[in-house]
Amino acid sequence: MLPWQVSPSLLVLFNALTGEVEKSSNLLRFVGGCVRDYLLKKPWYDVDLATPLSPEEVITRLQKEKIPYITPGISHGTVTAIIEGHAYQITTLRCDVRSDGRRAIVSFTEDWRQDAYRRDFTINALFMDWTGTLYDFVDGEEDLSQGRIRFVGNPEERIQEDFLRILRLFRMFSFYGREPLEKETLDAVRKYAPQIKKLSTERIHAEFLRLLESPSPLSSLTLMSTCGVLKEISESLVIPSFFETLLKLEAQIQEPNPLLRVAALLLQTSKNLNFQALKSFLIRKNEIHYVLSILSYKKFLISQDPLIFSKKLLSLMKLPLYRDVMILKTALFFQDKSTLFILKKILQKAEDENERLVFPIKGKDLLSLGIKSGPDLGKLLKKTQEFWMENECSLTKEECIAYVLKEICEKEH
C-alpha cells in the first residue's frame, strides 16, 4: 500500500475534492517535494497537491464537506485544507504571466503539462496520483535518479521569474545533487547573483538556513562563493579551510546545526560583527544572539590552548552552546582520530557535570545578609561568581557566602 493510502485525512480530502478517490487522477495529484522524496524512499512530510479546479471550486467542495481551510496563498491559487491537525496545500494549475523577480502574476489553467513547465527544477515538477501513477513531463525522474539538478527550460528565464531560485538551486544541489551543475546554469547564476539583494531578508534567511541543514553543504557553498552568490548574502561569509573537518566532526556528534555552520563561516572575517550586521540574512533574534554567543569565544577558539574539559567554560554557557564551541575549536586544530576521541570524552564529561554546575547563590541570598539592592549588590554577586569559577566551580553555597562576608569586611575596613 502507498503511504498516503493509509492516511485517513488524505482519504477524506481526496473524496471531498474528487468524489471518488480511485478515479481522482485527472482532478487531484501529489506534486513537488512529497513525490520527489517518495521516489527516493525518504520520509515525506509536507504534502502539496495540484488540481485543475479553480480556487473557488476547491473552497466550495471543502465547505460542502465541512472541512476547515485558510487562504493566505489565494492570489497564487493556493487553498490550505486543515484536517486532523494536518495542513494540505491545494494549488490550482497555473502558469506565470509576468514576474519582477520577486512576485509573479499568474493565470490559471487546466493543463498539467503547462503547470509542470512553469516550475523551478525538473525534480520538483513530478506529479503522482492516488494509485501511484507518475506523470513526468520534464524528465524529472531520470534527473532525480542521476542526482542531476536542472532548471525546467531555460535557466535564465527561470531565475528571472524569481531570483530566490538561485539560492534554491544550491539548496537542492546540497541535498540531492551528485552530478555537476551545468555550465549554462552556473553562467545564469553569475549573471543574476547581484539581484539577490532585491529579495527580502525573510526569504534569504529561509533558503540559506535550509541549505545549511544539509549533511554536506560544502560543494554548494563553494559554488556559491565562486559564482558571487555568498557575498550577496553577506560579505562577512567566508568558507574556512577547516569547514569540511567541522562537517565530519559534527556528523559524529550531533544533527546538523545551521547556526554553528553560520558561526564557522563568520569566524575568519575581518569585518566587525554585531547584531545589525547579522540581520542581513538572519531574522530571529535568538538565532542572531546564538551565533554571536559562539563568536564571543573567538579568542578561546583560535588560541593554541590544549583541548581539555573546563568547568569554568561550561559554567559560562548552556550545554548546547558549549558543545558547539568545542566542536568548532576541535575542527580548527584537528589532527587525527585521537582528537575526535578526546572531544567525545570532553562532551560526555560536560553532560555529566552540567546539572551540578549551577552557581549556588542568588541575589536574594545577599539581600538576606543585609546588603542593599542596587549596583553594588550586582557587582559583588558577579565577583563571587568569578571566584567560584576560578575554583573550578566546586565551592559550596556556604563557601560562597563566606567569601561574600569576607569581601564586605575588607571593604568596611
8-state DSSP, 43: -
pLDDT of residue 410: 79
Contact 291, 260 (CB under 8 A): no
Which segments in the chain show pLDDT lower than 50?
Answer: none
Angle (nearest 5°) at CA 246 between 242 and 249: 135
The confidence score (pLDDT) of residue 413 equals 58
Q: Any idea what DSSP says for residue 182?
A: P
Residue 29 exposed, middle or buried by CB count within 10 Å (0-12, 13-18, 19+): buried
Chain centroid offset of residue 63 CA: 35
**CA pair distance 297, 207, nearest whole angstrom:** 27
- Please give the Cα distance from 71 to 77 (Å, whole number): 9
Provide the sign of the torsion angle of the four alpha carbons 242, 245, 333, 325, taken in this order: positive
- Give the pLDDT score at 120: 96
Other CB atoms closer than 10 Å to residue 4's CB: what's the count? 19
What residues form DSSP beta bridges with 89?
Answer: 48, 80
Answer yes or no: are the C-beta atoms of 327 and 246 closer than 8 Å.
yes
Q: How many angstroms separate the first and last alpha carbons of the chain?
A: 84
**DSSP assignment of 104-154, as one string?**
EEEEE-S-HHHHHHTSSBGGG--EE-TT--EE-SSSHHHHHHHT---BSS-
Tens-place pLDDT, residues 284-321: 999 999 999 999 999 999 887 778 887 778 888 889 99
Cα separation values, 159 from 148, 156, 183, 191, 273, Å: 18, 5, 15, 10, 31
CA distances from 310 to 200, 315, 357 (A): 42, 9, 11
Domains of the chain: 1-146 (3.30.460.10), 363-412 (no CATH)
Beta-bridge partners for 162: 101
- The secondary structure of 237-280 as a DSSP string is ----TTHHHHHHHHHHHSS--HHHHHHHHHTT--SPP-HHHHTT
Smallest CA-to-CA distance from 204 within 182, 180, 223, 224 is with: 224
Q: How does DSSP classify residue 89?
A: E
What pLDDT score does 356 carry?
66
CA quadruple 69, 71, 77, 79: dihedral, nearest 10: -20
Per-residue model confidence (pLDDT) at position 345 = 93
CB atoms within 10 A of CB 301: 21
Which one, of 13, 95, 93, 20, lies nearest residue 47 by Cα? 13
Burial of 182 (0-12, 13-18, 19+ CB in 10 A): middle
Nearest CA among 239, 285, 247 for reference residue 266: 239
pLDDT of the residue at 280: 87
Q: Which residues contact 99 (CB under 8 A, 6 or more apart)?
A: 105, 160, 161, 162
Which 8-state DSSP code applies to residue 193?
A: G
Report the amino acid identity of residue 132. G
Task: Tell me the CA distances in angstroms from 218 to 166, 222, 358, 395, one per residue in order.
Answer: 16, 6, 38, 45
